[in-house]
A = this chain, B = another copy of it.
Amino acid sequence: MPRKDTTTAARTSLPTAPYVRVKRFLKEGLAAGRWPTGTLMPSESELVAQFEVSRMTVTRAVRELQAEGLIDRVQGIGTFAAQLSRVSSTLTIRDLHEEILSRGHRHRAEIHLAKRERASAAVATRLGIQTGSTVFHTLMVHFENDVPLQCEDRYVNPACAPDYLSVDFTQVTPTNYLLQVAPLWEAQYSIEAGLPSEQEAQLLRLRHDEPCLVIVRSTERGGVPITIARLVHPGSRYMLSGQFKP
């Protein structure tokens, strides 16, 4: 009889999956401070005995908690409660076009620059190419219902997207196009508050002393830099938001 008899409770309401029960037990124990940070938690075999389930089931529950960063496991040693203070959230950065449409608003892009240039030392370094070699450079402003929302200043490695300049960016955002050409596999970003450059202030129709949210993002794939972008948002018109949900 490979299938275990389902005599045990949980028939009245929801027949919660066993691995979910194990997971919940551990999660609630952590929330209740039953295993303070760094404490040794029950071993897999203990959980197997306690819940009368197979080890695979326990393993799944525990592995998922590990993936969520709630516990640390060390082979040969045991399972430990993780630093709950290092909780991390998922900050989803969507394509601005989609984001605006999903709010039910209109999106429009104004192209101010789209040409090939010689890479400055700073740009070349970050794109992993030779100073003075060709790069693609675009500068545009994105509008939400005709209000300027983002100034996008972007350099692209021609090796990764040779046809970049032939794209009509009033129809497809650079992000979207680059995702088609090379799904972005790794990226780094920084988020800070700062003042717009003179040009940015003008393009965004801002006074030069209005604070902006500045996101600098560089994207690469397998160690090959694809693009770097500086995204400037008027502080009064844009905010990032997200959730923690450990």
Contacts and interface: CB of A to CB of B under 8 A. Distances in A.
Interface string A185-220: 111111111110000000000000101111000010
Interface of A: 30-31, 33, 56, 64, 67, 84-95, 98, 175-176, 179-180, 182-195, 209, 211-214, 219, 221, 233, 235-236, 238-246
B90 A184 contact: no
B211 A242 contact: no
Q: How many copies does the complex hold?
A: 2
A188 B85 CA distance: 15
A195 to B, nearest CB: 6
Given A84-B184, A90-B90, A95-B85, A193 B194 contact: yes
A56 to B, nearest CB: 7
B240 A30 contact: no
Contact of A240 (B33, B182, B186, B191): B191
A89 B86 contact: no
A239 B89 CA distance: 16
